Amino acid sequence: MSEKPFRIKPAVTDENEHFWQGGADGELRFLRCKACRSYIHPPAPICGECLTKDYAPEAVSGRARLVTYTVNHQPWIPGFDPPYVIAIVEIEEQPSVRLTTNLVNCEIDDIAIGMPLRVVFEQLDDETYLPLFEPAGE
């Protein structure tokens, strides 16, 4: 019996490996446009802001805010016991960059929309790290 909850592994590709592998260095990374400095997420072949193709992965602070959440009470995933919190968070650097993730290390009664969060990583295998979020305090 594994101690870690079962996770569905993402498909890691050349386009998104910066995102899934950043956790190896403790970094949350997104593609960032070199022309207008926008972050591009999910990865796309051109910048959605200025339509250039000149971009590279860059680390962000890992700080984020809670946009919305839902508490799942259904045992949808074997080994991943409810209740758990599915959250949408926006990163501090660019609120239009949002991640669907899980809130961890947090009592459900303590969750509040807009609360500050920070990234933590769950290692899935040698090359894949899942970014999760926990309360950052004030």
Single out the residue of 134, 138, 135, 131 nearest to residue 60, CA to CA: 131
Q: 93: Cβ–Cβ under 8 A, 6 or more apart, which residues?
A: 39, 60, 61
Stretch touching Zn ion by CB under 5 A, among 10-18, 27-35, 74-82, 109-117: 27-35
- 20: three-class secondary structure by DSSP: helix
Q: The tokens of 13 are what?
A: 């590709």
Kindly tell me which residue out of 44, 46, 50, 86 binds Zn ion, with binding defined by CB under 5 A. Answer: 50
* Shortest distance in whole angstroms from residue 95 CB to Zn ion: 17
Kindly tell me which residue out of 35, 56, 71, 86 binds Zn ion, with binding defined by CB under 5 A. Answer: 35
* Shortest distance in whole angstroms from residue 55 CB to Zn ion: 7
Note the residues at the interface with Zn ion (CB under 5 A): 33, 35-36, 38, 47, 49-50
